[in-house]
Amino acid sequence: MALLGIDTGGTFTDFILFREGKLITHKVLSTPKAPEQAILRGIEELQLDTAELSIVHGSTVATNALLEGKGVTTAYITNFGLGDVLSIGRQTRRELYNLQPEKHSPPVAKEYCLETGGRISATAEVIEPLTQAHLDKLALQLKKLSPVAVAINLLFSYLDDDAEKRIANSIPDSIFVSRSSEVLAEYKEYERGIATWLNSYVGPLVQDYLKRLQNALPEVAISVMQSAGGTIAAELAGQQAVHMLLSGPAGGLAAARYMGDITSQQRLLTFDMGGTSTDVAMIDGDLQLSSESKIAGYPVAIPMVDMHTIGAGGGSIASIDAGGLLQVGPESAGADPGPACYGKGGIGEIMAATVTDANLVLGRLRADAFLGGGMTLDLAAAKQAIKPIADKLKLSIEDAAAGIISIANEHMAHALRVMSVQRGINPVELSLVSFGGAGGLHVCALADALTMRQAMVPRYAGVLSALGMLVAPRARQLSQTFTHLLNELTTEEIEHHFSRLYQQGLSALKEEGVAEKDIISEYSLDCRYLGQSYFLNVKWQNIETAIREFQLLHAKRYGHDLELDVELVNIRVSLKSKASEIKLPAMNQEIEGTLAYTTLYGIEEDAPIYHRDELTCGQKIIGPALIIETVSTTYLAPGWSCEVDKSACLLLNKF
């Protein structure tokens, strides 16, 4: 069986094929309006027999629908008096000191917010029963509104989900339904409601897309990457669409951790620079998860890889603002029309300048070696795109290109500081890991900006997210609110709830063919001091250890601990299968020497060009130099050297 990892990005769709001990990489331009077309094209170009193919896929369908506000019409059902919860939110303003803030539409229009019975108390006592009259009224309202999807969020449904189930069972099968007790069985009705609404808002789009892909590849077993770094069968993914909002980036982090293990580097600061955006994260032994992420301004309380995303990529557009200053991003040229140097503009058309165009003008990209020679870049078009900017700034085209790169680098450096310095972590203690199609062009500059002394460009860095699809395990993340003072509980009570969640996850993984003996489980608790609003997560051993670990973590995070009782908020269970055993192919053992020399902006002597496939274990390179490969290019800046390790990763060091 051949394994194919696929990462659908905003500009390129990346492929990495593992078959008979060999890995083959490939890229095609994405087709955002119908992502499956790029996938089918890539499979055709790789000449694959679909009868012997298994796919693990990272999809941007859910993310793009949310960011662009193009989800489906969704009705929101809640208890009487709570129809405005999603609109009111936490009553916080996005711009605290703006006296004339921009108005934002509520997630769900007022007429689509429906109220009904079925209310219970914080102790699961029925306050207002759900009657047949309530169900009949909802049926009439839904018939009139004709929504594509419905989100059900009743108060304290995580304690008793009977009313939510009855409502869901009364809704026609043609309507996509999400229940809050199934999507996020945790307290905080606003966050739970947003997660449930998001699941319904993008769920039908994800389902339709995956069905199109499955129909086009009926013989292929397809799995999908989820936001927490584990995979799920495609036929189940649509119903849990909210878990796919960071599908692609999670694959990159799974592969970065895999490469870190191979190179014995456990503490990593990663940046994944693609064509549209850059994702920044930290790995400290394992992937860091967060239940406090935000996407498009909405809180997403389901477990997701903890990362910071900015609109800075190879396709980020450069422009001059009203004040005459150079700006880069967040707008992107995407895959269509793409950077000017892709040559997809009309004859004589002056296209917007992008970061990729600037790198080409500076000599850091080879026009004749892009995608292994499969795509030739147009240097003249890149210069033509940058010239209007250069003229306005009264600079040469090359100097303007250097300015574009400098600003893009500063945006990414700031994002890296958010994930390290602003969290009290000295980046000098970490190794910077770059991947994505454009990451290697900027790795040295970003390491310099953070005074970091070492960096790594992994093997297959240009398609690392696709590799992550292959090394990620099948997984489930389950949680349940269970609020009690820890010192008033027994170990048996807590482990009873853990066991119930474990059985749910076990049942789900067994349906996907995972044997119980191959499952690794982890239990943890969300804890806080009594009276606090926020919590910290600690691994479960026993009650005494949990209290002590929470106090130590609180002191480390906030600089103090308190003489207060510790309260349990949520219990969490993580189940993971053993990942596929992917072993990187052996390296080339014969040195072929440099391919050629090239001129680089700002460097007097010509710099050597190396082909990465021809490097050998232990080979050392002194910058400046270019290291080119089919799916990306690494610019080794002056003052930096690199050594090729046994896994073919480039280990960079400042000298």
- Containing H/E element for 431? strand 431-435
163 band by pLDDT with thresholds 50, 70 and 90: very high
Q: Is residue 145 domain-resident?
A: yes
User: What is the domain range of residue 540?
Assistant: 475-577
Q: Which two tokens stand for residue 288?
A: 């860091």
221-225 β-sheet, strand order: 22-29, 12-19, 2-8, 53-58, 221-225, 231-233
Q: Is residue 278 domain-resident?
A: no
Q: Is residue 222 domain-resident?
A: no
Query: What pLDDT score does 419 carry?
Result: 92
Query: Is pLDDT at 374 greater than 80 in this prediction?
Result: no
DSSP type of residue 239: G
Q: Domain boundary residue among 559, 577, 595?
A: 577
The torsion angles phi and psi of 94, rounded to 5 degrees, stand at -70, -35
67 band by pLDDT with thresholds 50, 70 and 90: confident
Residues 228-283 have pLDDT tens digits of: 999 999 999 989 999 999 888 899 999 999 999 888 888 999 999 988 888 999 99
* Higher-confidence position of 174 and 296: 174
Query: What pLDDT score does 591 carry?
Result: 60
Residues 320-333 have pLDDT tens digits of: 998 999 999 888 88
Q: Is residue 567 domain-resident?
A: yes
Q: Is residue 167 domain-resident?
A: yes
Q: Is residue 458 domain-resident?
A: no
Pairing relation of β-strands 176-179 and 149-152? parallel
Q: Domain boundary residue among 577, 607, 634?
A: 577
The packing angle between helices 132-145 and 162-170, to 10°, is 50
The answer for residues whose C-beta is within 8 angstroms of residue 288's C-beta and 6 or more apart is: 281, 282, 305, 306
Residues 613-632 have pLDDT tens digits of: 888 888 999 989 999 988 88
Query: What pLDDT score does 305 carry?
Result: 92
Q: To the nearest 10°, the Cα dihedral for 64, 68, 71, 77? A: 120
CA dihedral for 223, 226, 232, 237, sign (positive or negative): negative
Judged on CB neighbours under 10 Å (0-12, 13-18, 19+), 249 is buried
Q: Domain boundary residue among 168, 183, 199?
A: 199
Query: What pLDDT score does 589 carry?
Result: 63
Query: Is pLDDT at 350 greater than 90 in this prediction?
Result: no
Which SS3 state, helix, strand or coil, does residue 30 take? coil
Q: Is residue 403 domain-resident?
A: no
Are the CB atoms for 250 and 265 separated by under 8 Å? Answer: no
CA dihedral for 633, 266, 623, 451, sign (positive or negative): positive
Query: Is pLDDT at 588 greater than 70 in this prediction?
Result: no
CATH code of the domain containing 155:
3.40.50
CATH code of the domain containing 482:
3.30.1490
For residue 642, the cross-strand partners are 621, 652
User: Closest Cα partner for 291 from 418, 478, 567?
Assistant: 478
Q: Is residue 75 domain-resident?
A: yes
| Count of structural domains within the chain | 2
